[in-house]
Amino acid sequence: MAKRWLITGCSSGLGRALAARLAAEGEQVVATARRPETLDGLVAQHPGNVLAAALDVRDPAQCTAAVGRAVDAFGGVDVLVNNAAYGQFGTFEEVSDAELAAQFDTNVFGPWRLTRAVLPVWRTQRSGHAIFVSSVAGMVPFPGLAAYTASKFAVEGAAESLAAEAGHLGVKVTILQPGGFATGYSANLVMPEHRIADYTPVSDGLLGALRSMNTRVEVNSPELFADVVWRLGQLESPPLRLPVGADSETFLEAAYDARRSEYDQVVKAGHHTLA
């Protein structure tokens, strides 16, 4: 039986690839973008399976309207994919209050308000699956991506809380942790208004790597992401966390090992008794 999907950030990249894959599999998809005309080709390729909706996740009214469109068209929502996000570059000191607020408004508050809008539907259905597209940066800090990293840490905390709070209502939650993918992420990276030369030795290496990411042969394809999410949506008991891409597994395994080692050292040293 076809599932009903609501996906954010479908104008290009991961969201676009996912919407196309789901439609090809016969799923029902409400694909959203800030400029819905960018979805005209996708809708034309899959008439009846894909509907376009205008959605800026920073706009509460548009979040409510997008959920309403899915309910009106398909009778409900089975899977919500919170994919829309962008990267704010800059070290901790370089990122201004306004830049930090904008990063969180899209990457954290957006998924929160959209998921909150769909939860009444899921409480009525007694079923639903919230997928949050995080990043390896949700566990691994990258110098020069302080605001982006903080936003992904926050998304993962929110998603874990949702899983604990709404599981008894039939709501499933999965946090996706992609590695590097050939998308528009690097081209759309927002630079801080003010840069500080003292930080360039630790941040410019990452900036160069991000800007050249799409040219590397080992970078993951959006089609890989789409395949993983399609298969994830078919599982009766999906995992809470799922790495996407071989590089993601490498980063996350190292992060888990480092945290466990640090924890063991702190406990053995007795620092946990200082309080």
Answer yes or no: are the C-beta atoms of 107 and 156 closer than 8 Å: no
- How far apart (Å, rounded) are the C-alpha atoms in residues 172 and 132? 11
Eight-state DSSP code of residue 78? S
Eight-state DSSP code of residue 145? B
H helices of 78-221, where? 97-104, 110-125, 146-166, 200-211
| Maximum separation of any 2 CA atoms in the chain, in Å | 64
Show the tokens assigned to 44. Answer: 């034309």
Instruction: Return the sign of the alpha-carbon dihedral for residues 36, 39, 41, 43.
Output: negative
- How far apart (Å, rounded) are the C-alpha atoms in residues 25 and 262? 45
For 32, the 3-state DSSP assignment is strand
- How far apart (Å, rounded) are the C-alpha atoms in residues 60 and 158? 18
Hey, what amino acid is at 159?
A: A
Show the tokens assigned to 185. Answer: 């992420």
Show the tokens assigned to 262. Answer: 């640090």
- How far apart (Å, rounded) are the C-alpha atoms in residues 173 and 242? 11
Which residues are catalytically annotated? 134, 148, 152
Could you count the other beta carbons within 10 Å of the beta carbon of residue 93? 12
**DSSP codes, 75-94:** SS-SEEEE-----B-B-TTT
